[in-house]
Structure 1
Amino acid sequence: MTDGAERMSSVAPSGVGVSLRRLVLVSRPVLWINTIGSGLVAVWLTGTLFDLRALPVLLWLTLPFNLLIYGVNDIYDQDTDATNPRKGSIEGARIHRSEVRLIAWAVAAVNAPFLVVFLMVLPPLANAAILLYVGVFVFYSAPPLRFKARPFLDSLSNAAYALPLVIVPAALSVTPVWPAALGLMAWSVAKHAFDAVQDIVEDRDAGITTTAVRLGARGTALWSGAWWVVSAASFAVVSVPVAVVDLLIAGVLVVRLLRDPTPETGHRLYRLSVAFPYIAGTFAGVLLMVSIVLGDAR
């Protein structure tokens, strides 16, 4: 009995550890910047470096919400992911059918406690934005809506990535900076379509008509470019330097894709696209923090 117990105790933690590592991989840590980054910027836009009242929302925007986004996506995209060479790497997980139950339970387990607490303590606007945030990303992948397979709606639905700029200030009873929120909405619409160019072949073969499939690589470059111009115009209301950086990086991406409008070019540009929010977000964050510190000094 003692030997058996020892064997079980040595195996169980290892199994748990493997499962946890797998769930973290499914949550795409390299893409957490899209949620936690906008959450932190939202705090800085309220005029303070940090507010402890925002901590629960910021924690939710790390593993829990990203596991919801990408876990649900992986569950419903198993067939297309199986033939996509990008999957099974840092660019996205390739799950097995045996993992579906684990992922589904994990999504519920790490998100439900936050959502229950938010519904009990946060103001109505914050909760409305949170429920919209969750709903959009669940039904981006899940039927019956499955925005992912609806051209233009797939791209437009990704405007929801900007909702932390509404959720965080609303949770702190502060008016959101709407030009910044609208600018990030337009930016997210553009980036989603642009990143989907690399998957045109796999999506078309699977019978999924995304914005990129419908417009083709060249048309998608123009679509994304137009939305990035809109985002820069909105950002300029808040910060001209941020708008300029946004437009410069977007311009590089769009021009390079227009010069060689193929899925292969989209894939080559994906790393710069992933770096885009890190570069622009860091620049915007530094400007905001300097402004806050200098404001406090005065």
Structure 2
Amino acid sequence: MSRLQPRPRPLTLSALPLRQVLLVSRPALWINTLGVAVTGLWLSGQLWNMSAAWLTLLLYLTLPFNLLIYGLNDCADLDEDARSARKGGWQGARLAAGEAAPLLWLILGLNLPFLLVLGWWLPPAASGVLLLSAGLFAGYSLRPLRFKARPFLDGLSNVAYALPLLIPALMVGAAVPWLAFAALCAYAVGKHAFDAVQDIPADVGAGTRTVATRLGASGTALYALGWFALAGALVWALSPLSSAAVCLVCGGMALALRRRPTPRQAARFYPLSIVSPWIVGAVSGVQLVYLLAK
């Protein structure tokens, strides 16, 4: 009689299956960190910089940094995520209670070595900006700050997404792209508000106060539209075509939500919200290729 073969164990990273780790880190959103840093490299005139420090930074801004951003959020939001129908798939993980502790250790184990190496390797200003970004993301999710549960501060703290834009210029002593940074800050605040509308029922059920629960779906759509308009206006001086992309894609989403202001409508637009950086980035990339080919 043949013995039953044991089922193969899933590939793991620490005590968590690798699939769950990847779901927590939300690879579809890595462009929000990695793409911003590459854009900063382009704006600083160092697009082909292949230094070891730069490549290490790029590697850090993939799985480790995004695991910090979303892993801490998932650990802090177990109640909200349990009520959210969109969690448990490509839009983010739904953690079991026993997964929070090993995830926290994994976040620490992946992030601390990178931060120590980059802190030693990068100029003080560049490493300070990186630490500030990581600190804001931690403060968004964790108490006592927990910006996520502080209406308006929740979105304003999302300027952390724009901070990696500054690092390449600070690394090489180039002019800091302040106008592009301001535009990206405005975009990040608007996008956070827009994306928060779909979570209103889950946040209300968990007692979490956000900009969306404070303003309601209609008010938040208008609030996001204002930030998107500001982002488009700021980026106009750099690229009218990129400005038009921001206004049409992001402004169009906000206007559509304003016409039908419900969490369900916001959820329908969430896939477009996720790919909006890819669309705006593609428009900017076409211009870059054109300029390089001239």
Shorter-chain TM range is over 0.9
Q: Indicate conservation of the 8 Å contact 1:49/1:289, yes or no.
A: no
For the pair 1:135 / 2:135, whether they are aligned, the reply is yes
Q: CA RMSD in A?
A: 1.9
Who is 1:218 aligned against?
Answer: 218
Q: Indicate conservation of the 8 Å contact 1:48/1:292, yes or no.
A: no
Measure the CA separation in 2 of the matches of 1:13 and 1:204. 36
Who is 2:22 aligned against?
Answer: 24
| Mapping for residues 101-140 of structure 1, pairs under 5 Å | 101-140=101-140
* Higher mean C-alpha displacement, 251-260 vs 151-160: 251-260
Measure the CA separation in 1 of the matches of 2:58 and 2:129. 15
Q: Report the CA distance shift for 1:215/1:293 in structure 2 as closer, same or farther (over 3 A).
A: same
How many residue pairs get matched? 287
Measure the CA separation in 2 of the matches of 1:251 and 1:223. 11
Measure the CA separation in 2 of the matches of 1:172 and 1:228. 30
Q: Report the CA distance shift for 1:13/1:283 in structure 2 as closer, same or farther (over 3 A).
A: same
Who is 2:44 aligned against?
Answer: 46
Measure the CA separation in 2 of the matches of 1:170 and 1:131. 14
Measure the CA separation in 2 of the matches of 1:114 and 1:75. 21
- SS for the counterpart of 1:171 is helix
Measure the CA separation in 1 of the matches of 2:258 and 2:137. 30
Q: Indicate conservation of the 8 Å contact 1:197/1:266, yes or no.
A: yes
Q: Indicate conservation of the 8 Å contact 2:72/2:142, yes or no.
A: yes
The gaps in structure 1 that reach 5 residues or longer are 1-6
Instruction: Compute the displacement of 1:285 (Å).
Output: 2.4
For the pair 1:202 / 2:202, whether they are aligned, the reply is yes
Q: Report the CA distance shift for 1:122/1:182 in structure 2 as closer, same or farther (over 3 A).
A: same
Measure the CA separation in 2 of the matches of 1:13 and 1:216. 42
Measure the CA separation in 2 of the matches of 1:86 and 1:253. 19
Measure the CA separation in 1 of the matches of 2:102 and 2:225. 39
Instruction: Compute the displacement of 1:253 (Å).
Output: 0.5
| Mapping for residues 138-177 of structure 1, pairs under 5 Å | 138-177=138-177
Normalization by structure 2: what TM-score?
0.93
Measure the CA separation in 2 of the matches of 1:237 and 1:57. 29
Identity, % of aligned pairs? 45
Instruction: Compute the displacement of 1:15 (Å).
Output: 4.6
Q: Indicate conservation of the 8 Å contact 1:44/1:285, yes or no.
A: no
Who is 1:73 aligned against?
Answer: 73
* Higher mean C-alpha displacement, 230-239 vs 131-140: 230-239
Q: Indicate conservation of the 8 Å contact 1:156/1:189, yes or no.
A: yes
Instruction: Compute the displacement of 1:293 (Å).
Output: 4.5
**Between Structure 1 and Structure 2, which shows a larger proportion of helix residues?**
1
Q: Indicate conservation of the 8 Å contact 1:32/1:62, yes or no.
A: yes
Measure the CA separation in 1 of the matches of 2:66 and 2:84. 21
Measure the CA separation in 1 of the matches of 2:276 and 2:38. 17
Q: Indicate conservation of the 8 Å contact 2:10/2:17, yes or no.
A: no
Measure the CA separation in 2 of the matches of 1:124 and 1:220. 38
Q: Report the CA distance shift for 1:227/1:99 in structure 2 as closer, same or farther (over 3 A).
A: same
Q: Which amino acid aligns with 1:143?
A: R
Q: Which amino acid aligns with 1:55?
A: L
